[in-house]
Protein backbone atom coordinates (compact mmCIF):
# COMPACT_ATOMS: atom_id res chain seq x y z
CA UNK A 1 0.00 0.00 0.00
CA UNK A 2 2.93 2.34 0.60
CA UNK A 3 4.02 1.69 -3.01
CA UNK A 4 0.50 2.23 -4.36
CA UNK A 5 0.10 5.49 -2.41
CA UNK A 6 3.61 6.69 -3.27
CA UNK A 7 4.36 7.74 0.29
CA UNK A 8 7.73 9.47 0.60
CA UNK A 9 9.48 6.39 1.98
CA UNK A 10 12.56 4.40 0.93
CA UNK A 11 12.28 0.62 1.37
CA UNK A 12 15.47 -1.47 1.39
CA UNK A 13 14.52 -5.13 0.99
CA UNK A 14 17.42 -7.35 2.07
CA UNK A 15 16.82 -10.61 0.23
CA UNK A 16 18.95 -13.53 1.44
CA UNK A 17 16.33 -16.12 0.43
CA UNK A 18 16.13 -17.57 3.96
CA UNK A 19 14.82 -16.83 7.47
CA UNK A 20 18.22 -16.43 9.11
CA UNK A 21 16.92 -14.66 12.21
CA UNK A 22 15.12 -17.80 13.38
CA UNK A 23 17.98 -20.12 12.31
CA UNK A 24 17.21 -21.16 8.79
CA UNK A 25 13.64 -21.83 7.67
CA UNK A 26 12.67 -21.33 3.99
CA UNK A 27 11.33 -17.85 3.20
CA UNK A 28 8.99 -16.35 0.54
CA UNK A 29 12.00 -15.88 -1.76
CA UNK A 30 13.52 -19.36 -1.30
CA UNK A 31 13.62 -21.49 -4.45
CA UNK A 32 11.18 -24.42 -4.81
CA UNK A 33 12.58 -27.58 -3.23
CA UNK A 34 14.63 -25.70 -0.61
CA UNK A 35 15.66 -28.16 2.09
CA UNK A 36 15.61 -26.55 5.54
CA UNK A 37 14.71 -27.59 9.08
CA UNK A 38 11.07 -26.63 8.39
CA UNK A 39 11.03 -28.31 4.95
CA UNK A 40 13.08 -31.53 5.26
CA UNK A 41 11.55 -32.88 2.03
CA UNK A 42 12.02 -29.59 0.15
CA UNK A 43 9.72 -26.53 0.11
CA UNK A 44 6.62 -26.58 -2.12
CA UNK A 45 6.04 -22.81 -2.32
CA UNK A 46 6.86 -20.89 -5.50
CA UNK A 47 8.88 -17.81 -4.53
CA UNK A 48 7.93 -14.16 -4.99
CA UNK A 49 10.01 -12.01 -7.27
CA UNK A 50 10.12 -8.80 -5.16
CA UNK A 51 10.84 -6.55 -8.15
CA UNK A 52 7.82 -7.95 -10.05
CA UNK A 53 5.68 -7.60 -6.94
CA UNK A 54 6.68 -3.95 -6.45
CA UNK A 55 6.07 -3.07 -10.10
CA UNK A 56 2.67 -4.77 -9.88
CA UNK A 57 1.87 -2.67 -6.82
CA UNK A 58 2.33 0.53 -8.88
CA UNK A 59 5.73 1.46 -7.42
CA UNK A 60 7.19 4.61 -8.94
CA UNK A 61 10.82 3.56 -8.26
CA UNK A 62 12.08 -0.03 -8.28
CA UNK A 63 15.69 -1.20 -8.33
CA UNK A 64 17.82 -4.22 -7.56
CA UNK A 65 21.46 -4.39 -6.49
CA UNK A 66 23.93 -6.81 -4.90
CA UNK A 67 25.50 -6.39 -1.44
CA UNK A 68 29.07 -7.09 -2.57
CA UNK A 69 29.06 -4.53 -5.42
CA UNK A 70 29.67 -1.44 -3.32
CA UNK A 71 29.82 0.99 -6.23
CA UNK A 72 26.54 -0.22 -7.76
CA UNK A 73 24.85 -0.36 -4.35
CA UNK A 74 25.91 3.22 -3.57
CA UNK A 75 24.76 4.50 -6.93
CA UNK A 76 21.34 2.81 -6.68
CA UNK A 77 20.81 4.00 -3.08
CA UNK A 78 21.66 7.57 -4.09
CA UNK A 79 19.04 7.47 -6.85
CA UNK A 80 16.47 5.96 -4.46
CA UNK A 81 17.16 8.64 -1.85
CA UNK A 82 16.67 11.40 -4.43
CA UNK A 83 13.40 9.92 -5.70
CA UNK A 84 10.23 11.76 -4.67
CA UNK A 85 7.81 9.11 -3.36
CA UNK A 86 8.28 5.46 -2.43
CA UNK A 87 11.43 3.75 -3.66
CA UNK A 88 11.92 0.01 -3.30
CA UNK A 89 15.44 -1.39 -3.59
CA UNK A 90 15.91 -5.14 -3.50
CA UNK A 91 19.40 -5.96 -2.21
CA UNK A 92 20.61 -9.49 -2.86
CA UNK A 93 22.47 -10.33 0.32
CA UNK A 94 24.52 -13.35 1.32
CA UNK A 95 23.72 -15.07 4.63
CA UNK A 96 26.98 -16.85 5.31
CA UNK A 97 25.53 -18.93 8.15
CA UNK A 98 22.15 -20.17 6.91
CA UNK A 99 22.22 -19.76 3.11
CA UNK A 100 25.82 -19.28 2.06
CA UNK A 101 26.44 -18.78 -1.66
CA UNK A 102 22.81 -18.10 -2.65
CA UNK A 103 23.90 -15.38 -5.09
CA UNK A 104 27.42 -16.63 -5.85
CA UNK A 105 26.78 -16.56 -9.62
CA UNK A 106 26.18 -12.81 -9.36
CA UNK A 107 28.96 -12.02 -6.87
CA UNK A 108 31.87 -13.96 -8.36
CA UNK A 109 33.58 -11.59 -10.81
CA UNK A 110 33.98 -14.05 -13.67
CA UNK A 111 30.54 -15.67 -13.41
CA UNK A 112 28.90 -12.27 -12.90
CA UNK A 113 30.11 -11.02 -16.26
CA UNK A 114 28.03 -13.72 -17.95
CA UNK A 115 25.06 -13.64 -15.57
CA UNK A 116 24.44 -10.01 -14.59
CA UNK A 117 22.47 -7.71 -16.87
CA UNK A 118 23.24 -4.11 -15.90
CA UNK A 119 20.30 -1.87 -16.64
CA UNK A 120 21.27 1.69 -17.49
CA UNK A 121 18.71 4.22 -18.63
CA UNK A 122 19.10 5.09 -22.30
CA UNK A 123 21.63 2.30 -23.00
CA UNK A 124 21.11 -0.88 -25.06
CA UNK A 125 20.69 -3.88 -22.74
CA UNK A 126 23.73 -6.03 -23.53
CA UNK A 127 25.87 -8.21 -21.25
CA UNK A 128 28.47 -10.97 -21.24
CA UNK A 129 32.06 -10.89 -22.47
CA UNK A 130 32.33 -8.28 -25.28
CA UNK A 131 28.62 -7.51 -24.85
CA UNK A 132 27.89 -10.67 -26.82
CA UNK A 133 24.43 -11.24 -25.32
CA UNK A 134 21.44 -8.92 -25.36
CA UNK A 135 17.78 -8.54 -24.49
CA UNK A 136 15.38 -8.26 -27.43
CA UNK A 137 11.63 -8.30 -27.82
CA UNK A 138 10.25 -11.51 -29.28
CA UNK A 139 8.01 -10.34 -32.14
CA UNK A 140 5.84 -13.47 -31.90
CA UNK A 141 4.90 -13.13 -28.22
CA UNK A 142 5.80 -9.52 -27.35
CA UNK A 143 7.81 -10.88 -24.42
CA UNK A 144 11.50 -10.21 -23.77
CA UNK A 145 14.23 -12.78 -24.32
CA UNK A 146 18.00 -13.11 -24.20
CA UNK A 147 19.83 -13.74 -27.49
CA UNK A 148 23.41 -13.91 -28.77
CA UNK A 149 24.09 -10.63 -30.58
CA UNK A 150 24.56 -10.93 -34.36
CA UNK A 151 24.77 -8.37 -37.16
CA UNK A 152 21.17 -9.23 -38.03
CA UNK A 153 19.63 -8.64 -34.61
CA UNK A 154 21.87 -5.83 -33.30
CA UNK A 155 19.44 -3.10 -34.34
CA UNK A 156 16.65 -4.78 -32.35
CA UNK A 157 18.46 -4.76 -29.00
CA UNK A 158 16.18 -3.23 -26.37
CA UNK A 159 17.20 0.21 -25.08
CA UNK A 160 16.44 0.58 -21.38
CA UNK A 161 13.88 3.25 -20.55
CA UNK A 162 13.53 3.53 -16.76
CA UNK A 163 11.25 6.54 -17.18
CA UNK A 164 8.68 4.79 -19.42
CA UNK A 165 5.12 5.70 -18.42
CA UNK A 166 3.98 2.09 -18.83
CA UNK A 167 5.40 -0.46 -16.35
CA UNK A 168 5.02 -3.30 -18.89
CA UNK A 169 8.62 -3.53 -20.12
CA UNK A 170 10.06 -3.05 -16.61
CA UNK A 171 7.89 -5.96 -15.48
CA UNK A 172 9.06 -8.10 -18.41
CA UNK A 173 12.68 -7.29 -17.46
CA UNK A 174 12.01 -8.36 -13.88
CA UNK A 175 10.87 -11.77 -15.19
CA UNK A 176 14.25 -12.45 -16.81
CA UNK A 177 15.77 -13.30 -13.41
CA UNK A 178 15.93 -17.05 -13.09
CA UNK A 179 15.51 -18.05 -9.44
CA UNK A 180 17.11 -21.46 -9.94
CA UNK A 181 20.32 -20.72 -11.76
CA UNK A 182 20.48 -16.90 -11.80
CA UNK A 183 22.03 -17.20 -15.24
CA UNK A 184 20.71 -13.85 -16.41
CA UNK A 185 19.60 -11.46 -13.72
CA UNK A 186 19.01 -7.75 -14.33
CA UNK A 187 20.30 -5.32 -11.71
CA UNK A 188 19.96 -1.53 -11.60
CA UNK A 189 16.96 0.78 -11.77
CA UNK A 190 14.03 -0.95 -13.48
CA UNK A 191 11.63 1.93 -13.10
CA UNK A 192 11.87 5.56 -11.99
CA UNK A 193 8.83 7.65 -12.78
CA UNK A 194 7.38 10.73 -11.17
CA UNK A 195 3.81 10.85 -9.96
CA UNK A 196 1.91 12.55 -7.15
CA UNK A 197 3.49 11.94 -3.72
CA UNK A 198 0.94 11.16 -1.00
CA UNK A 199 2.57 13.34 1.68
CA UNK A 200 2.73 16.38 -0.61
CA UNK A 201 -0.87 15.93 -1.74
CA UNK A 202 -2.11 15.53 1.83
CA UNK A 203 -0.27 18.66 3.02
CA UNK A 204 -1.80 20.57 0.11
CA UNK A 205 -5.27 19.27 1.00
CA UNK A 206 -4.86 20.39 4.62
CA UNK A 207 -3.77 23.86 3.49
CA UNK A 208 -6.78 24.03 1.15
CA UNK A 209 -9.14 22.96 3.95
CA UNK A 210 -7.86 25.69 6.25
CA UNK A 211 -8.19 28.24 3.47
CA UNK A 212 -11.72 27.17 2.55
CA UNK A 213 -13.18 26.38 5.97
CA UNK A 214 -10.88 28.00 8.51
CA UNK A 215 -8.81 26.23 11.12
CA UNK A 216 -10.57 23.19 12.63
CA UNK A 217 -11.53 22.96 16.30
CA UNK A 218 -10.69 19.48 17.63
CA UNK A 219 -12.45 19.94 21.00
CA UNK A 220 -15.64 21.06 19.24
CA UNK A 221 -15.41 18.07 16.87
CA UNK A 222 -15.00 15.60 19.74
CA UNK A 223 -17.97 17.11 21.62
CA UNK A 224 -20.01 17.41 18.42
CA UNK A 225 -23.40 16.00 17.47
CA UNK A 226 -22.85 12.28 17.72
CA UNK A 227 -22.06 11.87 21.44
CA UNK A 228 -23.84 9.85 24.04
CA UNK A 229 -23.49 9.18 27.75
CA UNK A 230 -22.89 5.69 29.03
CA UNK A 231 -24.93 5.12 32.16
CA UNK A 232 -22.66 4.48 35.14
C1 LIG B 1 6.28 -11.45 14.16
C2 LIG B 1 6.97 -12.43 13.26
N3 LIG B 1 6.54 -12.60 12.00
C4 LIG B 1 7.16 -13.44 11.15
C5 LIG B 1 8.25 -14.15 11.57
C6 LIG B 1 8.91 -15.15 10.66
N7 LIG B 1 10.30 -14.84 10.39
C8 LIG B 1 11.30 -15.51 10.94
S9 LIG B 1 12.83 -14.98 10.42
C10 LIG B 1 12.13 -13.84 9.41
C11 LIG B 1 12.96 -12.99 8.51
C12 LIG B 1 13.80 -11.97 9.25
O13 LIG B 1 14.45 -11.21 8.27
P14 LIG B 1 15.66 -10.28 8.62
O15 LIG B 1 15.39 -9.52 9.88
O16 LIG B 1 15.97 -9.51 7.40
O17 LIG B 1 16.85 -11.28 8.96
P18 LIG B 1 17.35 -12.58 8.23
O19 LIG B 1 16.49 -13.70 8.70
O20 LIG B 1 17.24 -12.39 6.76
O21 LIG B 1 18.76 -12.72 8.68
C22 LIG B 1 10.73 -13.86 9.49
C23 LIG B 1 9.82 -13.02 8.71
C24 LIG B 1 8.68 -13.98 12.93
N25 LIG B 1 9.73 -14.61 13.42
N26 LIG B 1 8.03 -13.13 13.73
Q: Give per-residue pLDDT as tens, 199-211.
A: 999 999 999 999 9
Integer angstrom CA distances of residue 115 from 61, 146, 181: 23, 11, 9
**Whole-structure pTM value:** 0.92
DSSP state of 8: S
pLDDT at 178 over 80: no
Question: What is the distance in A from the centroid of ligand 1 to the CA of 17?
Answer: 11
Instruction: Please work out whether the CB of residue 93 comes within 6 Å of at least one atom of ligand 1.
Output: no
Q: Indicate the pairing of strand 144-148 with strand 133-137.
A: antiparallel
> Could you tell me the pLDDT band of residue 78, with boundaries at 50, 70 and 90?
very high
Q: Could you report the per-residue pLDDT of 22-55, keeping only the tens digit for each?
A: 999 999 999 999 999 999 999 999 999 999 999 9
Q: Where are the domains of the chain?
A: 2-123+160-210
Residue 64, class by beta-carbon neighbours within 10 Å (0-12 exposed, 13-18 middle, 19+ buried)?
A: buried
Mean pLDDT computed over every residue of the chain: 95
Q: How far apart are the first and last CA of the chain?
A: 42
* Ligand 1 pocket, residue 16 CB under 6 Å: yes
Q: Which atom of ligand 1 is nearest to the CA of 21?
A: 19
Mean of pLDDT values over 131-155 = 95
The H or E element containing residue 208 is helix 198-213
The percent of residues in the chain predicted with pLDDT above 70, rounded, is 100
The closest residue, in CA terms, to atom 23 on ligand 1 is 19
Alpha helices in 46-151 (DSSP H): 50-56, 70-82, 104-107, 109-115
CA 207 to ligand 1 centroid distance, Å: 41
Ligand 1 atom with least separation from CA of 95: 21
- Between CA 118 and CA 130 the distance in angstroms is 14
Amino acid sequence: HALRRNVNLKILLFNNRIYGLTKGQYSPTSEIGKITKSTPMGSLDAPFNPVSLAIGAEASFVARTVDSDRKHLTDVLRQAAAHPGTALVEIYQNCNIFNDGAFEALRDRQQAQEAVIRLEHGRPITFGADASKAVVRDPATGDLKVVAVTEDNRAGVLVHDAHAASPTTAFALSRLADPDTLHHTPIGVFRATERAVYDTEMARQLDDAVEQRGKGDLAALLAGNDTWTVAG
